[in-house]
Amino acid sequence: MTSLMLNEDETMLRDSARGFLDDAAPVKMLRTNRDSGRAYDPGFWKEMAQMGWTGVLVPEEAGGSDMGHRAAGILAEEMGVTLAASPFISSAVMAATALRGAASDRLSGIADGSAIYAIAVDEGTKHGPEKTALQAERSGNAFRLSGRKTFVADGGSAGRVLVLARTAGAPGEAAGLTLFDLDADRAGLSRSARKTVDSRDHAQLDFDGVEATGDDIVGELDNGMAVLGLALRAGQAALSAELTGLSAGAFAMTAGYLKERKQFDRIIGSFQALQHRAAHMWSEIEVTASAIANAGRVLDESPDESQLAVSVAKARATQTAKLVVSEGVQMHGGIGMTDEFDMGFFMKRARVGAEWLGDYGYHAAKVAAARGF
């Protein structure tokens, strides 16, 4: 039976991450990043790399710690508590998982933080890798990529991009897709920043005859989902963990307010109706945390059978975050709606996290399919 309890190394990782993030990346850093026009603090990313976080899924021989997906989830969850912005999920989780599956020699760059990746998959308003239409047409011994990718997280700042392109078949088919590892400055590739409510780095990538060779292929031709599928599940699990940490951070802020705010000469936390609502939030966070832990364990122990566990985690994390941030804003009253108060940042990140890598409906359908419905 899979254990959901943290082992000694994971407990130490959580405790060290919590202490570091409280000091180095409090919620106010997000406001600083937003007001200065940057997606994240490069100095903070460098510190993360020095602590070994960027190599959590990289083999030791490539400079990583190889602690596994449960450990990556612990880090993502703690980042969610303080809304710490970084390309951790895109680069250290998804790109590392994909390149590891293809035995790439670029893993060492991910481990030391020098190589930052974005994952260019979706082309529409919703997550759907099989819907890829971006064409990679053969041109002699090379390929020319033409098309557009939307909602590419960390797409504006990444130095490299893993691009899913169609080399055979038609949109809607999983077969015929190939994953390419490209330099973000390659000729014909243009990037346009896209503002999102969470003040993170998202971009639209346009490909106009971008040349790629066989050496740029990650995994096998026409079978890119073999390596990308696991990478996406790893990213979905880490994002679920971040959303659960976000829920915990928003709940702590709300609970603190309930203990301090007075109305009619009484602490509002003494009102039974608010107590019931707070208890409901806490219970949902705890149940979701168990789903997050399970997803990480299953990814480590049975990666090919992880879709159900990951989709349960993402669906639950999405709904829990929505509940907690909505209740948080309401319980704070008028100040909860103002930009000067940090609660709104939690709501905005929860909204973007709900859509990235598959919304509730996408993952609920995955769970239903796995259950035979």
CATH class of 119-223: mainly beta
Tokens of 270: 């003494």
Q: Report the alpha-carbon angle 89-115-294, nearest 5.
A: 25
Q: How far apart are CA 147 and CA 143, in angstroms?
A: 13
Judge whether 166 and 134 are in contact, CB under 8 Å. yes
pLDDT band at 373 (very low <50, low <70, confident <90, very high): confident
- CATH number for the domain running over 8-115: 1.10.540.10
pLDDT band at 334 (very low <50, low <70, confident <90, very high): confident
Judge whether 239 and 312 are in contact, CB under 8 Å. no
Judge whether 202 and 87 are in contact, CB under 8 Å. no
pLDDT tops 80 at residue 81: yes
pLDDT band at 263 (very low <50, low <70, confident <90, very high): confident
Using alpha carbons, list the distances in angstroms from residue 195 to 249, 285, 348.
24, 29, 12
- CATH number for the domain running over 227-370: 1.20.140.10
pLDDT tops 60 at residue 1: no
Instruction: With CA atoms as reference, report the closest residue to 248 among 325, 184, 301.
Output: 325
Task: Dump the DSSP string for 108-155.
Answer: HHHHTT---EEEE---SSS--GGG---EEEEETTEEEEEEEEEEEETT
Least confident residue range of 33-42, 59-68, 118-127, 276-285:
33-42
Instruction: Render pLDDT for 89-101 as a digit per residue (tens, 0 to 9).
Output: 999 999 999 999 8
Q: Backbone phi, then psi, for 239, in 5-degree steps?
A: -65, -40
Secondary structure class of 193 (helix, strand, coil): strand
Instruction: With CA atoms as reference, report the closest residue to 234 among 91, 49, 42.
Output: 91
Count of other CB atoms within 10 angstroms of residue 352: 16
Instruction: Render pLDDT for 350-365 as a digit per residue (tens, 0 to 9).
Output: 999 999 999 999 999 9
What residue ranges in the chain does DSSP mark as E strands?
Answer: 117-120, 135-139, 142-153, 160-166, 177-183, 189-193, 202-213, 217-218, 262-263, 266-267
Sequence ranges of the domains in the chain: 8-115, 119-223, 227-370
List CB contacts of 169: < 8 A, sequence separation 6 or more.
175, 176, 177, 222
Percentage, residues of the chain above pLDDT 90: 91
Burial 156-171 (b: 16+ CB within 10 A, else e): bbbebbbbbbbbeeee
pLDDT band at 2 (very low <50, low <70, confident <90, very high): low
pTM: 0.96
